[in-house]
Amino acid sequence: MVKYIKNIMIIALILIINPVHIPAGEISYQPESYVMGLDLSEGRIVGDKVEYTMEIPEDWVGFILVEREELSPGTRILEMLNFYWQPRNQPLIFLASIYIYETKYSMDFASYKRILETNEYDFRMYVSATEMEFLSTVDKIVYNHFIEQFGDMNLILELFSFPEGRGPVVKERIFVNGDEIEGSVVYGNGAAYVPLRAVCEALGYTVVWYGSDQSIYMEKNGFDFTLYTEDKVNYGAVRIENAYFVPAVFFIQVLQVNFDTDKRGNVFLTERM
């Protein structure tokens, strides 16, 4: 905790006293495709071919350069935003890209995380996984800070707003350690229920169903647990369409996993460090 607070203090000091403003016409590095730098002075990005507004967090201003890529004719991508950071005396460093497709043309790549979906459009994001070994210790802290923000789907979701009646489809999704998994969320009895097997396997558990005593056995790295579905004390497990669903309390108490939801009803499960 002390180390975490110290790192945050370093980042705060850098953001306050050491801003690096990058005018769009003075970019020291250009990606292969032609790009247009966006003006972030008003703290937001307004969509070009798609109606949306993306708010820019205060600590991005003066550090993050955002470019709207000019796409080749015929591409299925409607808009593409590229995010870069430029440390002192270094070329631009790529952080992430946001791709916006028409929903009917959306492509499902494992590395592209879906941010949200409207009736018309699918918003997806790719976050850099490159190790920046050449950076100084302080620059690595700042770089990791920005990468963590782009990897926080809850944070990114909250940045977008839409005209009335054209917002995200009410379609709850499940994210495990930042990655979306197949499965639905069921709300009832004041709790969010998620499919036990799908979530546990995404967390790296081996899951086995034993019909003899109606139990579910799960194991990972020497830790195991058996959930007896017919017992009165079964953490609220319920059977829905041939799968067992459990509420947040199971993951929090048994598997020691953080469980959160957002205002759209999406569920986020994250392993504790």
**pLDDT score for 95:** 94
Sheet (strand 77-85) strand order: 35-37, 64-69, 77-85, 93-102, 121-127, 113-117
**pLDDT score for 169:** 59
**pLDDT score for 36:** 53
Helix (H) or strand (E) holding 187: strand 186-188
174-271 CATH pick, 2.40.10.340, 3.30.457.10, 3.40.50.300, 1.20.140.10: 3.30.457.10
Q: From first to last of the 273 residues of the chain, give the pLDDT tens digit.
A: 444 444 444 444 444 334 333 333 444 444 333 345 787 878 899 999 999 999 998 888 878 889 998 888 878 889 999 999 878 777 889 999 999 998 777 766 667 887 877 878 888 899 998 888 888 888 888 899 999 999 887 788 888 888 887 776 556 788 999 888 888 888 776 788 899 999 999 999 999 999 999 999 999 999 999 999 888 788 888 888 788 999 888 999 999 999 988 766 788 999 987
Number of residues that make up the chain:
273
Rounded to the nearest 10 degrees, how much is the dihedral formed by the CA atoms of 167, 176, 257, 241?
80
**pLDDT score for 171:** 62
Q: Domain-by-domain residue ranges, the chain?
A: 2-161, 174-271
Helix (H) or strand (E) holding 74: none
**pLDDT score for 155:** 83
What is the dihedral sign for C-alpha 41, 45, 47, 52? negative
pTM above 0.85, yes or no: no
